[in-house]
Amino acid sequence: MKPWLLSASIAALLVACATTTSPTGRTQVVGGVSQQQLDQLGAQAFAETKAKEQASRDAKQNAYVTCVVNALVRQLPPEQRQVAWETAVFVDAEPNAFALPGGKVGVNTGIFTVAKNQDQLAAVLGHEIGHVISRHHEERITRQMGTQTGLGILGALAGAKYGQTGMDAVSQFGSLGAQGLILLPNSRTQESEADIVGQRIMAQAGFDPRQAVNLWQNMISAGGARQPQWLSTHPDPTNRIRELERDAPALLPTYEAARKAGNTPKCG
Residues 235 and 219: beta-carbon distance below 8 Å? no
Please state, in angstroms and rounded to a whole number, the distance separating the CA atoms of residues 264 and 153. 44
Give the residue numbers marked as catalytic.
128
Q: What is the DSSP letter of 56?
A: P
Contact indicator for 143, 190 with CB cutoff of 8 Å: no
- Region of 103 (left: φ > 0; alpha: ψ -120 to 50; beta: rest) is left
Beta strand 27-30 with 18-21 is antiparallel
In this structure, the strands spanning 104-108 and 86-90 are: parallel
Q: Are 97 and 112 in contact (CB under 8 A)?
A: no
| H or E element that contains 25 | none
- CA-CA distance, 199 to 203, in Å (whole number)? 6
Cβ atoms of 138 and 32 within 8 Å: the answer is yes
C-alpha to C-alpha distance for 204 and 209, rounded to whole angstroms: 9
